[in-house]
């Protein structure tokens, strides 16, 4: 797989995690803190914004092991695979928490 395909799959996994994460409820609860005043605090805006915040956090957090591996000498392709594995692991845990 190319790096672009791996990155697209990683972003997709992070977006899915943003929809199923248990952290979504907490981020949505604190919407008065992060939501701009110009947007109406409707359920749609709050859910969409909270989902994007959780997805971005997942993308950043799952990149940490990949950055460490790359710093230790792993190739860029292997680092991208580690990044995808981290995002997939977090997404899988989020899906399991929804089922249980």
Which stretches in the chain have pLDDT values below 50? none
The tokens for 4 are 């672009």
Q: Produce one character per residue of 53-86: b if its CB has 16 or more CB atoms within 10 Å, e if not.
A: bbbebbbeebbeebeebbeeebeeeebbbbbbeb
Spatial distance between the Cα atoms of 58 and 37, rounded to a whole number of angstroms: 26
Q: What is the pLDDT of residue 99?
A: 86
Q: What is the pLDDT of residue 41?
A: 86
Chain segment 10-37, per-residue pLDDT in tens:
999 999 999 999 999 999 999 999 998 8
How many residues make up the chain in this entry?
100
Q: What is the pLDDT of residue 39?
A: 87
Prediction pTM value: 0.90
Q: What is the pLDDT of residue 96?
A: 93
User: How many DSSP H helices and E strands does the chain contain?
Assistant: 5, 0
């Amino acid at each position: 797989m190319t790096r672009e395909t791996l990155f697209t799959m990683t972003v997709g996994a992070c977006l899915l995690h943003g929809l199923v994460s248990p952290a979504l409820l907490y981020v949505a609860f604190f919407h008065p803190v992060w939501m701009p005043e110009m947007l109406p605090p409707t359920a749609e805006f709050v859910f969409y914004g909270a989902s994007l915040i959780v997805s971005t956090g997942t993308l950043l957090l799952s990149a940490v092991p990949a950055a460490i591996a790359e710093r230790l000498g792993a190739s860029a392709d292997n680092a991208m695979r580690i990044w995808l594995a981290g995002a997939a692991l977090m997404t899988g845990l989020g899906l399991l928490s929804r089922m249980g």
